[in-house]
């Protein structure tokens, strides 16, 4: 599933191709995604792109009038085609750009979304989202204050979008390892020092992943079509039974709800 670093990588990948350009039209071959592709997108003609932004795991194309909100869902992918190419089976949406390129959306499982918004402030998918993890608003103080009366385990608590957006399963496990904190501890057991270290670790893990072009899981491809390279560097995620890279102790797995969590019983407390 594309996580925040992959979405940010996609944003950076398509931005130079579309910002300041005009979307001549959208070609929607299959509108049946997680929600039906909005009519305004299907009918789109000659709209200038002012900027390409990201909020949580949503890509936001700011047009001279209105916004396109894109979510990659479970298996969505955006690519830049320098010139048009015939679509294949899962290529559901194209944006035809005035400079001759095509932004192509491919999504085998069709859990992604293409939504229209006249005003982002009233967008139902963006309302109620917590702070961006890489913003100054998100820090140890924020985590500490929010954790005071939370007895839920830290790991699923971190993945709640109302606390902070974009900390998915992989990055929650990895950040807790870097911070040396056990994922099953109650959130309210965090000391101020723990909270500061955890916020710092989340930022560091996400930034490193963005720099490296996003984590590869299954079929994620970078915006230029090449696979990302972060997967080899995961410390704990998906490594149950393998030796901890820091101390050699076998990595353990646990379940929180439906989600697997990975940790080192020696390095994390
Ligand atoms: Zn260890």
pLDDT of residue 191: 98
Q: How far is the CA of 249 from the centre of ligand 1 (A)?
A: 5
| Backbone dihedral region for residue 20 (phi beyond 0: left; psi -120 to 50: alpha; all else: beta) | left
- Averaged pLDDT score across all residues of the chain: 91
For the annotated catalytic residues, the residue numbers are 2-3, 57, 259
pLDDT of residue 219: 38
Q: How far is the CA of 137 from the centre of ligand 1 (A)?
A: 31
CA 59/CA 77 separation, integer angstroms: 12
Q: How far is the CA of 189 from the centre of ligand 1 (A)?
A: 21
Residue from 257, 245, 254, 202 nearest 3 by CA? 202
CA 140/CA 198 separation, integer angstroms: 7
pLDDT digits (tens, 9 = 90+) for 137-163: 999 999 999 999 999 999 999 999 999
pLDDT digits (tens, 9 = 90+) for 196-246: 999 999 999 999 888 877 554 333 344 555 544 455 579 999 999 999 999
Residue from 31, 30, 86, 38 nearest 63 by CA? 38
CA 245/CA 261 separation, integer angstroms: 17
Cα→Cα distances 137→94, 174, 186, 193, 262, Å: 36, 21, 23, 17, 28
Numbered residues of the known binding site for DNA: 90, 109, 150
pLDDT digits (tens, 9 = 90+) for 82-123: 888 999 999 999 999 999 999 999 999 999 999 999 998 888
pLDDT digits (tens, 9 = 90+) for 30-73: 999 999 999 999 999 999 999 999 999 999 999 999 999 999 99
Residue ranges of domains in the chain, CATH in brackets: 4-122 (3.20.190.10), 140-263 (1.10.8.50)
Structure tokens that stand for 232 in this block: 């080899």
Numbered residues of the known binding site: 90, 109, 150
């Amino acid at each position: 599933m594309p996580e925040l670093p992959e979405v940010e990588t996609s944003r950076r990948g398509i931005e130079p191709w579309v910002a300041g350009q005009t979307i001549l039209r959208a070609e929607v071959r299959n509108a049946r995604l997680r929600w039906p592709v909005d009519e305004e997108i299907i009918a789109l003609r000659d709209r200038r792109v002012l900027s390409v932004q990201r909020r949580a795991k949503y890509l936001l194309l700011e047009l001279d009038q209105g916004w396109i909100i894109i979510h990659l869902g479970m298996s969505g992918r955006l690519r830049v085609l320098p010139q048009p190419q015939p679509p294949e089976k899962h290529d559901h949406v194209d944006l035809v750009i005035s400079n001759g390129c095509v932004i192509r959306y491919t999504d085998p499982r069709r859990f992604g979304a293409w939504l229209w918004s006249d005003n982002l402030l009233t967008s139902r998918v963006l309302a109620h989202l917590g702070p961006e993890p890489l913003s100054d608003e998100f820090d140890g103080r924020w985590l500490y204050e929010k954790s005071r009366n939370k007895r839920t385990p830290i790991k699923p608590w971190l993945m709640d979008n109302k606390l902070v957006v974009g900390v998915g399963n992989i990055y929650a496990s990895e950040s807790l390892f870097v911070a040396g904190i056990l994922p099953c501890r109650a959130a309210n057991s965090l000391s101020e020092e723990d909270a500061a270290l955890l916020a710092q670790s989340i930022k560091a893990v996400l930034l490193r992943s963005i720099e490296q072009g996003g984590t590869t899981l299954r079929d994620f491809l970078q915006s230029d079509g090449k696979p990302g390279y972060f997967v080899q560097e995961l410390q704990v995620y998906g490594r149950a039974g393998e030796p901890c890279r820091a101390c050699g102790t076998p990595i353990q797995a646990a379940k929180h709800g439906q989600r697997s969590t990975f940790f080192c019983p020696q390095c994390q407390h």
